[in-house]
Amino acid sequence: MAPLLNIKDLRLTIGGVPVLNGIDLAIEPGEIRALVGESGSGKSMTALSVMKLLPNGARAGGQIRFNGTDILAASETEMCRLRGDDIGMVFQEPMTALNPMKTIGEQVAEGIRLHTGASRAVAEERTRAILDRVGLPVAKFPLGRYPHELSGGQRQRVVIAIACALKPKLLIADEPTTALDVVLQAQILQLLQDLVRDEKMGLLLISHDLAVVADVADSVTILRHGEVMDRGETTQILTEQAHPYTRQLAQASMHVPDRSRPRIAQDDGPLLSVRNVARIYPGTRTGLLARSEPTIAVDDVSFELEPGQSMALVGRSGCGKSTLARMVLALDKPTHGDIALSGRRIDNLGEAALRPARRHMQVVFQDPYGSFNPRHKAGRLVAEPLFLFDTPLSQSETRERIDTALERVGIAPKDRDKYPHEFSGGQRQRLAIARAIITEPKLVVADEPVSALDVSIRAQILDLFADLNGRLGIAYLFITHDLAVARAITDSVMVMADGRIVERGRTDEVLRHPQSDAGRALVDASPDLHRSLARRIGEQG
């Protein structure tokens, strides 16, 4: 019996540049095949070749057969019938896949009406059924809601509902859980597994996370530079790690930075002191004199961070982590409580008085590209925080600061004249770190700084954070949902749930034996390559 999807010797060039070189891949009905590799390995281009959604200038050769159809020879009319009907696709970022101007009900029903010619009433009934199937029952999530009214995990469920509304034979999921916290990630992966089992569809799961792959995939194909390096049954491939590149990816996914460097001596007393901080947002107006109940985003939080200490703040999406970080950075004021940096309160200061404090605390965001002006060169972007100095620096002093910051993060000073789009994702994150350390701050708040990076680049960035901590004595507050990151880079951890700190302690102790319900939920849901392989071997044995 022929496979549902059968790719043979797929070759692809874009503008004459080779992108894929002889890809072979097959998926049977009811099979989950993972497509794994670093950024630029050709994973997404393989998926787009199957959908025949390639960019201008692309030339594909070889063979892609789906359920008897020759994809590369199919007309656009034929592909329009296949897309959404027989082949569904789930993208990494749901907000880019959803129309913010249309309700979730409209967006799910749209494909049903287009492909089946169903009436509005029939399409709405099928929409209700598929949303209920993906965990969004209409009683709690009305069809009239807009995407911005849903959480990240709920929006991803809507995208899966759209992709699966017509019960496709093949579903392609391109990094569908990268931006989600570990509990939501586990729920979405379980949902995909259930859909594959119940509908007997094939699933091509694109991922850079071997722990996720080990947990859910039946088979795996590993790409590098557009070529297949390794392939086979998941447990065998990831247990034996016979291919050097497979072994390299596995080691990177479990990478622990060297943090043995002696730290620079610091002044006595805590660097950061947060005492009884709360942030309460007033309810929305429901009438002339009436408001809904206020939202307590952060509720009576207290902690201290010592000079040179690295602390993780972990918790599920919506628990209050980012709100707390904004108050630490003096970007938002607490409703109650106080925040001090190096013994001086900063929560009650105006912008002018905050300038000295801002020099000593900087931030690294999850998506550096979104925080860079694409029209400015790297040198100017890195130099932005220098305006915080009381005395303006000369041109030569500014150039020296820029070059030093770039060298510290492993970027050549000559690259200061490049634009952000000329750097890779990992290099852009290095630029973001260079910008954060150019003022030689005492504290860096890192908000999910490696969640969007593949495992090898993530390992390099974590090494860089650890190195800067050792050489410069920078203290870190890491906001993350990735417990592997917390375990690798931090001394202590705080677990946050519903706006409160529910558990705290040394990172290894808390993550090994969590005492709170929230901590146990995070640890249980966190992907772990060794644990997943041990479970699979036990089930097979």
CATH of the domain at 525: 3.40.50.300
Same domain, 311 and 194: no
Q: Is residue 251 part of a domain?
A: no
Same domain, 192 and 102: yes
Q: Which of 217, 239, 262 finishes a domain?
A: 217
Rounded distance, CA 516 to CA 522, Å?
Answer: 10
Contact between 357 and 351 (Cβ < 8 Å): no
Rounded distance, CA 522 to CA 511, Å?
Answer: 9
> In angstroms, what is the C-alpha Rg of the chain?
25
Same domain, 28 and 160: yes
- Residue 452 to residues 210, 365, 464, Cα–Cα distance (Å): 15, 11, 16
Q: Which of 217, 239, 260 finishes a domain?
A: 217
Residue with tokens 């000593």: 360
Q: Which of 217, 240, 263 finishes a domain?
A: 217
pLDDT on residue 148: 86
pLDDT on residue 367: 73
Same domain, 189 and 301: no
Same domain, 207 and 350: no
Kindly report whether the global pTM for this prediction surpasses the value 0.85: no
Q: Is residue 391 part of a domain?
A: no
Same domain, 202 and 323: no
pLDDT on residue 541: 67
Same domain, 144 and 212: yes
Same domain, 210 and 314: no
Same domain, 206 and 321: no
Sign (positive or negative) of CA dihedral 513, 519, 521, 525? negative
Q: Is residue 264 part of a domain?
A: no
Same domain, 103 and 166: yes
Tell me how many domains the chain contains.
2
Q: Is residue 242 part of a domain?
A: no
Q: Is residue 417 part of a domain?
A: no
DSSP symbol at 57 = T
Same domain, 183 and 278: no
What domain range includes position 184? 5-217
Residue with tokens 């509005």: 120
Q: Determine which helix (DSSP H) or strand (DSSP E) holds 529, and give its type and residue range.
A: helix 529-540
Q: Is residue 247 part of a domain?
A: no
Rounded distance, CA 74 to CA 65, Å?
Answer: 10
Same domain, 206 and 276: no
Consecutive 10-residue runs of the chain (541 residues): their mean pLDDT?
A: 91 93 95 91 92 91 94 93 89 80 93 90 93 88 89 84 90 84 86 90 91 93 95 94 93 75 62 96 77 88 95 90 93 95 93 90 82 90 90 91 93 93 86 93 91 82 89 92 87 95 95 94 88 83 67
